[in-house]
Structure 1
C-alpha cells in the first residue's frame, strides 16, 4: 500500500493510551483536520485505512525499529554502533540492561497502541460513513482494520504479556481507568478479529492495491497466533489453507521465488513470496530533524559499515553506515558455506583482508554485516537526506517462513513427517530453492533452517522465546529466564493509572 499519509485524524487527535495515558495534543483547528469532522467522504475513509497500515512500518526518531531492537537482543547479532554507549537503547537490549524507563520499551508500546487506536477509530467511524461507500468496500475496510488490530495486539501481548484490551475509543474521563486483560483474553480477541476478517478480504491484492492484506495473509497470521499458543493442529490447519500445494502458486497467489537473492532486490516489491510487507519509499524527503516521520527506510544506513571506503573497483557500492546489527561469529560460522550466505552477509572482513575496502572496526565488530538491507549508492534517494530515504521494503511475513511454521506445527501435532509427507515437502521446499538436499523433519533441523533462512528478519528472538531456549542461548548476553521473555511496561504508563507492572519486572500483575 502506498504510504503517502494524508490522514491526520487518528494521528493527531487527543490523548489516548498510546504514547502515554497522560499526554494530550493541542490541536489548532486552523492548522489541523479535526477528527470530529473527518470521515465525511470515501476518500477520507480510505486515508484512515492507510493510516492504520502505516503504523506497521513505524520507525522512531531514535532510529529504533522492532527489527533492530530484537535483532540486538538475539544471538545472531550485536547492537553494534560506534561505541558501547552509541544508540543506548539498542545496547540495553544487547546486554539485557533495559528498564521500564528505556526508550525501546516505550517505543514498542507506543507503536502497538497507536496502531490499535487508529484501527479502533476507523471501526468506530466507518459505521457513520456516507452511502457512497459501497457495502463491499465497507466490509473490506472493516476486515482490514480488524486484521491489522490483531497484528498489533499479537506483538503487544507477546512483548509485554499484560496489556489493556481496548476495542473502541476511550472516553476522556476513562483514560486513567483502563486496566489490563488476561493474556488469554487478548489472544481470544486476536483470533476473533482474524477469523472475522478472512471472509471479507480479497484472495489477492495486485497493482495499485499491492501490499494490502489478503485472506491468505490473515490465515497465515492466525496460524502463527495458534503456533505461539502451542495449538499445533489448529496452526497446521490454518497454514495449510494458506500454503496450499508446496512449490505451486497457491489460491492467494503466493509462491516461493526461484532465486533467494531476488527477495532483497530493492525493486522487487510485493513479489510472490511476500505475505505482509513493510513498505518504504525514496520520495518522502525525511531529514535529520524529522527522523521517523517519513517513509524512508533507515535500516540502509544503520546496518552499513562505519567509515566505509572503497579501495578498488571491485568494492561493493555500500553507503558508509553506522555498523548496527553486526552478525555474530557463531551465526557466520553456521551460514558461511550455506548458499544463502552471500545474499545475507556483507563480509567486510574478507574484503578488507583482500585490500578491496577499509572500514572502522567499531563496537562489537566481527567483520560481518547485514547484506539484506545494506544501503548502496545505487539505491540512494534522489531527494532529502539521502542516507535516510532508502526504499528497501522488509518482510513481516513471507512464504518460506509459513512453510517452516506449518512443518513445525505438523511435527508437534504428531502428524506424519517421513519422506513424502506434507511436513517433509514443506521444509525441504525451502532447502530445494537454494539447491540443498532434503533433511528429515526434526525440531533441530527446523530450528537450524529457520535461523539460516530468516537472518535479520526479526524472527530469531521470538523463536528462541517460544521454544523455551532463550534462557540458554542468550545467557551470555545477560538474559534471565523467567524475566526477559517479556519487556517491562513503560514507566510512563504506570503513574496515575490502573496499569500495573508485570511480576517478572517487580510488579504485581
Structure 2
C-alpha cells in the first residue's frame, strides 16, 4: 500500500489511473485483513505491521494483543468497503479470485462473529446473503446441486464468495514447490497406491474419523463428502494401501479425480486443477443464522437461512437453535477447514476434543514457530 501511494510519481507506469490505484489499495486492505485473521486465529498475539520497516528493526518487533489485531482487521475491511472502486462482483472468466465488496462484507461478518459481536456480524452477513434462497446483490446464490460445488469444472460458481484459484497447466516442479500454481492438497488426501477407475494415488493424509462418518451417514451429502475406499475395495472395484491412522474413509470434496487430467509440464502431484473455496454462501447463511440466534434477532430469518441450506439437499425444516446450526455447519462444511475454528470460537473444543488430549486455555492457539521466536522479541 505504501508503494501504491507513490505510483503516481513513477512516469514509467503508463495507463495507470487513479481508479486503478484506489481499487488495488482496497484489494490490498482486504488481503491484509484476511491474512491477519488467519494469524490471530491460529497464533493469538502476533506482531502487527502496517508500515514498512528497515531490516535492522525486525528483531525489535513485539507481539501485540489479539484485540489490537482484530481492530486493525476491522479497520482495513471497513476502509476497503468504503472505496467506490472496489467492485461488488467481478467476471469469473477474467478476474475470478480477485477481492470484491462481497468478500469484504463476508470476511467482516466472520471477524465480528469470532469476537461475539453478534448484531454487527448479522448485519454484515445479511448484506452478503440477501433473501435466503435467492440471489444477493453480489450475484451469490446457492447452487441447486451440493455435489457440484467443488468440481474443477465449476470454478467461481454463484455459491463461491472467496475462492483461491489453481491450475494444472503450469510447469511447477519440486524445485519451486512453494510457488506452485496447482492444488497440492488433492495429492495429500488421496488414497495411497490406489488402483482403480476413480482417483489418482495420493499420500493418504487426513483420513476421516469413523465418528464423523457415523454422524454423516444417512445424510444426503454423504457421498459428496466421504470417499469410502473400504467399500470399493470390498467389492473389488478399487485397491489401496492403508496409510497412517487409516479408517478407509477419505475426503471426497478435494479428492484427486481421474476425470480431470493433468495438462501441464510439471509433476502431477503439484498440479491438480481444483480450486480451494475459502468462503461460500452456505457458510455465510449459517453464520448469519448463528449471529441472529445469539443476538436475539429475527428468529424467522434465522430459520429461513438454516433451512435454505437443508432444503437444497432435500432435508426438511428444523428450528434455528444453536445446536441445530452447529450440527448443520459440521455436515454442510465438513473437510473445508471450519470445524476446528468453530469448536474453539464457540467454547466446545475442550468437551468435543476431550479424548484427544486437548487442554483448555492452552491448545486453542498454536505455539509461535521457533524460527519466528528467534527472529524477533
Normalised by the length of structure 1, the TM-score is 0.71
Is the 8 Å Cα contact of residues 58 and 375 (structure 2) preserved in structure 1? no
The one of 307, 313, 318 equivalent to 2:193 is 307
Equivalence for 2:276: 394
- What is the RMSD computed on CA atoms of the aligned residues? 1.5
Equivalence for 1:373: 254
The one of 174, 177, 181 equivalent to 1:288 is 174
SS at match of 1:351: helix
For the pair 1:483 / 2:362, whether they are aligned, the reply is yes
**In 1, Cα distance between the equivalents of 2:67 and 2:227?**
42
**In 1, Cα distance between the equivalents of 2:19 and 2:178?**
34
Is the 8 Å Cα contact of residues 214 and 252 (structure 1) preserved in structure 2? no
Compared CA separation, residues 286 and 219, structure 1 to 2 (3 A) = same
Compared CA separation, residues 228 and 438, structure 1 to 2 (3 A) = same
Equivalence for 2:43: 160
**In 2, Cα distance between the equivalents of 1:282 and 1:156?**
29
**Structure 1 position 356, deviation (Å):** 1.6
**Structure 1 position 307, deviation (Å):** 1.5
5+ long unaligned stretches in structure 2: none
Compared CA separation, residues 251 and 377, structure 1 to 2 (3 A) = same
Equivalence for 1:331: 212
Compared CA separation, residues 184 and 123, structure 1 to 2 (3 A) = farther
Q: Which moved more, 1:294-303 or 1:426-435?
A: 294-303
5+ long unaligned stretches in structure 1: 1-119, 311-315, 499-509
Equivalence for 2:67: 184
For the pair 1:150 / 2:150, whether they are aligned, the reply is no
**In 2, Cα distance between the equivalents of 1:496 and 1:223?**
34
Compared CA separation, residues 347 and 146, structure 1 to 2 (3 A) = same
Normalised by the length of structure 2, the TM-score is 0.95
- Aligned pairs for 1:163-312 within 5 A: 163-200=46-83, 201-206=86-91, 207-310=93-196
**In 2, Cα distance between the equivalents of 1:411 and 1:492?**
42
SS at match of 2:163: strand
Is the 8 Å Cα contact of residues 227 and 235 (structure 1) preserved in structure 2? yes
- Alignment coverage as a number of residue pairs: 371
- Aligned pairs for 1:402-481 within 5 A: 402-417=284-299, 421-481=300-360
**In 2, Cα distance between the equivalents of 1:488 and 1:122?**
33
**In 2, Cα distance between the equivalents of 1:306 and 1:125?**
51
Runs of 4+ aligned structure 1 residues displaced above 3 Å come to 120-132
**Structure 1 position 435, deviation (Å):** 0.7
Deviation string for 1:44-92 (max 9, x for gaps)?
Answer: xxxxxxxxxxxxxxxxxxxxxxxxxxxxxxxxxxxxxxxxxxxxxxxxx
Deviation string for 1:315-362 (max 9, x for gaps)?
Answer: x42111111111110111111111111111111111111122121122
**Structure 1 position 369, deviation (Å):** 0.4
SS at match of 1:167: coil
**In 2, Cα distance between the equivalents of 1:485 and 1:122?**
36
**Structure 1 position 284, deviation (Å):** 1.8
Deviation string for 1:15-35 (max 9, x for gaps)?
Answer: xxxxxxxxxxxxxxxxxxxxx
SS at match of 2:53: coil
**In 1, Cα distance between the equivalents of 2:8 and 2:70?**
25
**In 2, Cα distance between the equivalents of 1:129 and 1:449?**
52
Is the 8 Å Cα contact of residues 165 and 275 (structure 2) preserved in structure 1? yes
Is the 8 Å Cα contact of residues 284 and 295 (structure 1) preserved in structure 2? yes
**In 2, Cα distance between the equivalents of 1:165 and 1:408?**
30
**Structure 1 position 291, deviation (Å):** 2.2
Compared CA separation, residues 180 and 123, structure 1 to 2 (3 A) = farther
